[in-house]
Amino acid sequence: MLLRHSDEGTSVNEPKILFVGPGAIGASLAAWVAETYPAVFVMGHGASQAALRQNGITTYAFDQPEETRRTIRVGLVDRPRDIADADIVVLAVKNYSLAAVAEQVRGDLGDRPIVVSLANGIDNQRILPQFFSKVIYGVVAYNARRDEPVVIGYRHKGPLVIGTPDNTLQDALGLVKSILGRACPTEITGHLQDAVHSKIVINLTNALDALIGRGARPISNLAAYQQLLTQALWEGVQVVRAAGYREHRIAGIPPFGLLHLVAALPGWLTRPLFERRVRGMRMSSMTQDVVLRGAQDTELESITGYIVRLAAAHGVAVPYNRAIYRLGREKFRPGFAPLSSEAVLAAVQEERAKL
């Protein structure tokens, strides 16, 4: 189904929202909002910008691809200043690109707009206050995959959790929720750091999956992969708890109690369920970046590296995440070839021997 978007009917009182970074999350959110809200604009670059101009944004649900497939055309800008009166700027870029993008937005739009960051991790909380005074942080709790520029598959629409570290900007949070809530369920939280760290734990999956190329090639040993994944996630839970963060329950994210259970039970007991879950898992964005595109810039430092450093600060042993982090730093570069699950598990044993 082709849906058309035009700003011709935009009211002068309708806040204008600019999405910067039309990857899997940014493009899907922009398209969903634009289905019912006219004042939506998107800025990409390169192949994404060309595809936006020619085709618009296409989204579909993984489990019902034909029934849910939608294509929508959105307002398109080449630079932030092309929409100089933007009220909200959603930065849907990863932390390793955030400073450069923030500098461009600040140079073009000044400190006028509300800025919303959808990056994983906490580095955005260090970077963005250097450029803007009104910053909202979002935790994205749905999986999406870019099949090609601005063609996005997703499992569920949302949810999103938004907030500020000091619970200020309540009016701005309400405005952002009223607009993003058109795309998917959106919650304002008074416990942002708990929500951010609960998501960081789940994001520990990404570096492991990139190392073994899950989704790009068959898993060499399912039992080894299960051990690696369940133990890496449980290490993450122990680290964030030791650092004083509490679990923030978010729909679609496994609770800490379940992560403890699957890490503690014998692998053979939970393997049938685990195998079914793996069949339903999609290729992570880090796997696409590293395995398919040969990218060297990844979220390794802001997710797994952060957990390893936080563990060291609080005296928590994390041999699984230390091994994954070390291998990622060594291997993630152009020409990377995925490792076997057994090779990663051997690296864990090396880390254990150092304890």
Q: In this predicted model, what pLDDT tens digit does every residue of 260-282 receive, in sequence order?
A: 999 999 988 888 877 877 766 66
Is pLDDT larger for residue 295 or for residue 270?
270
The architecture in CATH of the region 2-190 reads 3-Layer(aba) Sandwich (3.40)
Give residue 160's pLDDT: 97
What pLDDT score does 288 carry? 74
Res. 294 pLDDT band, cuts 50 70 90: low
Widest pairwise Cα distance in the chain: 66
> In the predicted model, what is the mean pLDDT of residues 332-342?
91
Give 153-195 as a DSSP string: EESS---EEEE-TTS--HHHHHHHHHHHTTTS-EEE-S-HHHH
pLDDT digits (tens, 9 = 90+) for 34-46: 999 999 999 998 9
> Per the confidence metrics, is the pTM higher than 0.75?
yes
**Is the Cβ–Cβ distance between 251 and 140 less than 8 Å?**
no
- Report the candidate in 147, 159, 155, 77 with the shortest Cα–Cα distance to residue 118: 159
Average pLDDT of span 154-181: 96
Q: Where are the domains of the chain?
A: 2-190, 194-354
Separation of CA 239 from chain center: 20
Q: What is the pLDDT of residues 97-130, one digit of tens each?
A: 999 999 999 999 999 999 999 999 999 999 999 9
- Residues 192, 164: contact at Cβ < 8 Å? yes
| Orientation angle between helical segments 341-354 and 319-331, nearest 10 degrees | 120
In the chain, pLDDT over 70 holds for what percent of residues? Answer: 94
pLDDT reading at 287 higher than 80: no
Task: Write out pLDDT tens, residues 235-256.
Answer: 999 999 999 999 999 988 889 9
Q: Is the pLDDT of residue 4 over 60?
A: no
pLDDT of residue 89: 98
Lowest mean pLDDT among 116-125, 132-141, 147-156: 147-156
Rounded alpha-carbon distances, angstroms, from residue 310 to 202, 306, 316, 338: 16, 6, 8, 27
Question: Which CATH fold would you assign to the domain 194-354?
Answer: N-(1-d-carboxylethyl)-l-norvaline Dehydrogenase; domain 2 (1.10.1040)
Question: How does the average pLDDT of the chain come out, rounded?
Answer: 91
Is the model more confident about 6 or about 345? 345
Q: Which pLDDT value is given to residue 215?
A: 80
Mean pLDDT of 284-296: 72
Closest CA to 71 of 118, 27, 17, 130: 27
Cβ atoms of residues 248 and 189 within 8 Å: yes
Model pLDDT for residues 16-59, shown as the tens digit of each residue: 999 999 999 999 999 999 999 999 999 998 988 999 999 999 99
Token pair in block for residue 129: 């206050």
